[in-house]
């Protein structure tokens, strides 16, 4: 079954009257005071316009392409390797410094070695394998995050 579109014509917009349109368009050059709106509507519009804040640009999109590999703290999962990150304190882009601190994994391993051998409980305190990793900013020396082994 074929359809013949040879006699088809698009409806013209002249058949639609402005009264049938649901919204009247207001010219862009008119200010709020020139629109003759009731005072209650005007005050609500002014309040809404004053409370609007401009959208904040994404930090990652505002950066040049070679710096977009840095992480923000919301997405980062700290590990036992240095991270390229923006410091939340000084807002500089850097690679974190690592410091190893005794954590719960060190104490648990020391207790286990003390129970098993009685002598080698000191080994977890000397190795980095069991210690927690603290990430610090190289510029301001502030604590950025911590990777806990347990």
pLDDT tens by residue, 65-94:
555 555 555 678 899 999 999 898 999 999
Residue 37 located in a structural domain: no
Nearest partner of 110 among 129, 93, 95, judged by Cα: 129
Residue 108 located in a structural domain: yes
Residue 16 located in a structural domain: no
Percent helix, percent strand, percent coil in the chain, to nearest 5:
35, 15, 50
Domains: count for the chain: 1
For residue 112, what are the domain limits?
77-149
Residue 88 located in a structural domain: yes
Give the model's pLDDT for residue 75. Answer: 72
Residue 139 located in a structural domain: yes
Give the model's pLDDT for residue 41. Answer: 77
Residue 55 located in a structural domain: no
Give the model's pLDDT for residue 25. Answer: 47
pLDDT tens, position by position, 12-70:
555 555 455 455 444 455 565 556 777 877 777 777 766 665 555 555 555 555 555 55
Residue 5 located in a structural domain: no
Residue 121 located in a structural domain: yes
Element containing residue 143 per DSSP (H, E) = strand 143-147
């Amino acid at each position: 079954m074929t359809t013949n579109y040879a006699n088809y014509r698009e409806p013209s917009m002249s058949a639609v009257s402005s009264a049938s349109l649901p919204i009247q368009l207001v010219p862009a050059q008119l200010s709020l005071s020139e629109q003759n709106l009731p005072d209650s509507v005007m005050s609500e519009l002014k309040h809404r316009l004053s409370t609007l804040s401009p959208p904040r640009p994404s930090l990652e999109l505002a950066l040049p392409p070679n710096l977009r590999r840095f992480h923000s703290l919301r997405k980062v999962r700290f590990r036992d390797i240095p991270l390229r990150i923006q410091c939340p304190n000084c807002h500089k882009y850097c690679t974190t410094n690592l410091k190893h601190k005794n954590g719960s994994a060190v104490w648990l391993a020391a207790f286990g070695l003390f129970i098993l051998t009685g002598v080698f409980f000191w080994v977890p305190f000397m190795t980095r394998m069991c210690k927690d990793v603290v990430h610090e900013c190289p510029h301001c020396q502030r604590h950025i995050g911590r990777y806990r082994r347990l």
